[in-house]
Amino acid sequence: MKLEGIHSVYFLGIGGIGMSALARWFHQAGYAVAGYDRTPSPLTDQLFDEGIAISFEDQVSTIPENFLRDKNGLLVIWTPAIPKESALYQFFSSGSFTMKKRSEVLGMLTAEHYTIAVAGTHGKTTTSSLIAHLLKSAGKPVTAFLGGITQNYQSNLILNSSKEATIMVVEADEFDRSFLRLHPDVEVVTSADPDHLDIYGDESTILDGFREFIQLLKKKGKLLIQDKAASKIGQDNLPQKGTKIYGLRATSGIYAENVQARPGSFAFEYEDGKVQIKNLELFIPGFHNVENALSAIAISLDHGLSPQEIKTGLATFRGVKRRFEILVQEGSRVYIDDYAHHPEEIRACLSSVRAMYPGKKLTVVFQPHLFSRTRDFAEGFSESLSLADQVLLLDIYPARELPIPGVSSEMLFDDIQASNKKMVTKEQLFDVLEDWDPEILVTMGAGDIDRLVPRVQDWMRSRLKPQVL
């Protein structure tokens, strides 16, 4: 399908990160855009302020009349987060309207542009955002569809402001096998750990999904793959030409030297056997983010950026909201918020916090995401959360799932080897924080824990001791 003849686009589930970026792209491109979502959010508020009509009622009467006058000129984009029992979904699907998933539409756009696609069970949002920022800050023509709100651009969409042919940077999501609809010229695979087992069933099947993604690479395309992911996927499944392996270990083709954890940043050197770049500093902390930066630097070098342009781009990158976001760092108090919702992500975040603030007591508030993920990785969650000294565990955020009998946050609780731990509700959280009075606090999860973050930030700031003049 081409976009010729389409003049209006209606989004079912417009408030999602990926959907809202696509809605913004169509709106900026001059299409009439409207949509539905179940509940308001900061993202829907922003879209409304940008001139996009949004309804929160699942009723056909809320569709703008002008969208229905020309059925052939209307494209309906939907996300599986909207149930097929929805009145709006039923209306469009039974009415011979053109309906496409977000991944299908993104696939259409990548087929028409030079595309850098970033995949991985962790790290793809930060890596794709950093690639886009490095290229854009060096004056390259970039359009980027991102899975988070970048701090530099306050958006999940970066638009090409020049007349040159755009370099499209997209986050290649493995959920629902969406990434298999893309047409990449360059691929990055940041990780290949088991996840979304409600979709794939087991680890071997998700690895097959990544192998299929790699096979989508165009002729003469280039692949950058993290060393552990390369081992899991298998060297025989990687292109013989155009593949580069990166990681923190010197056995990788691209690696980091002299990595130093500092409060608020990580310093390191880039090595690839041909190019060495010293005195790099990244202000999105974490060993995992140094690894993410290695692939972004390699891509930047391939696209003509100089070492100085890369240094400047790294130093000015402010990260993505809810990705190791330092919200308070003053005196002895530190508050970090992170989107981590998988054991490996929790382990990467907490081990980095330990390196940055050695000897400090570390307190974590974690909200598990999905009943199926909690069940499938219970042991890993308990083990990774045990890196903290104190753990506060919230109830599971169900997202798209119905409860699973016998699955709850308590599955994790007994095996968490922290010196202090407690099951809490959101209502109880601040009373326990008052009692525990943490110095280094991390909130984690992909559910609605983000709605508590402003209150936690205000609470932490209230604990700062006033300076005596």
469 sits in which H/E element: none
381 or 331: which carries more pLDDT confidence? 381
CB 148 within 8 A of CB 155: no
The pLDDT tens digits for 347-378 are: 999 999 999 999 999 999 999 999 999 999 99
**Token duo for residue 101:** 């998933």
Question: Does this chain's domain 113-316 share its CATH topology with 325-462?
Answer: no
Q: DSSP readout, 315-372?
A: HH---BTTSSEEEEEETTEEEEEE---SHHHHHHHHHHHHHHSTT--EEEEE--B-HH
In this predicted structure, what is the pLDDT of residue 250? 85
* Residue 225: strand pairing partners: 189, 245
Three-class DSSP labels, 166-225? CEEEEEECCHHHHHHHCCCCEEEECCCCCCCHHHHCCHHHHHHHHHHHHHCCCCCCEEEE
The pLDDT tens digits for 178-232 are: 899 999 999 999 999 888 777 788 888 999 999 999 999 998 999 999 999 999 9
> Over 70: is that where the pLDDT of 2 sits?
no
DSSP 8-state code for residue 369: B
In this predicted structure, what is the pLDDT of residue 468? 46
**pLDDT band at 420; cut points 50, 70, 90:** very high
Q: How many CB atoms lie within 10 A of CB 84?
A: 9
For residue 291, the Cα-to-chain-centroid distance in whole angstroms is: 15
Q: How many CB atoms lie within 10 A of CB 94?
A: 8
Look-up of token digits 């165009």: 218
Q: How many CB atoms lie within 10 A of CB 408?
A: 18
CA separation for the pair 448, 79 (Å, rounded): 19
* Residue 280: strand pairing partners: 268
The pLDDT tens digits for 36-51 are: 999 898 899 999 999 9
Burial of 367 (0-12, 13-18, 19+ CB in 10 A): buried
**Token duo for residue 351:** 């081990």
Expressed in angstroms, the distance from the first to the final Cα of the chain is 68
Half-sphere exposure of 167 (CA within 13 A, CB side): 21
For residue 238, the Cα-to-chain-centroid distance in whole angstroms is: 25
CA separation for the pair 124, 116 (Å, rounded): 12
**Percent of the chain, pLDDT > 90?**
86
CA separation for the pair 251, 240 (Å, rounded): 18
**pLDDT band at 5; cut points 50, 70, 90:** confident
DSSP 8-state code for residue 12: E
CB 425 within 8 A of CB 455: no
CA separation for the pair 114, 134 (Å, rounded): 17
Three-class DSSP labels, 113-138? CEEEEEECCCCHHHHHHHHHHHHHHC
- The CATH number that domain 8-101 falls under is 3.40.50.720
CB 117 within 8 A of CB 179: yes
CA separation for the pair 328, 455 (Å, rounded): 12
**pLDDT band at 3; cut points 50, 70, 90:** confident
Mean pLDDT of 327-336: 94
Angle made by CA atoms 292, 296, 300, in degrees to the nearest 5: 170
300 sits in which H/E element: helix 287-302
CB 346 within 8 A of CB 384: yes
CB 252 within 8 A of CB 246: yes
Q: Looking at 259-268, 328-337, 459-468, which range is the least confident one? A: 459-468
DSSP 8-state code for residue 69: S
What are the boundaries of each domain within the chain?
Answer: 8-101, 113-316, 325-462
**pLDDT band at 163; cut points 50, 70, 90:** confident
- Average pLDDT over the chain, rounded to whole? 94
- The CATH number that domain 325-462 falls under is 3.90.190.20
Angle made by CA atoms 189, 190, 191, in degrees to the nearest 5: 100
- The CATH number that domain 113-316 falls under is 3.40.1190.10
Look-up of token digits 């001139």: 51
pTM of full prediction above 0.75: yes
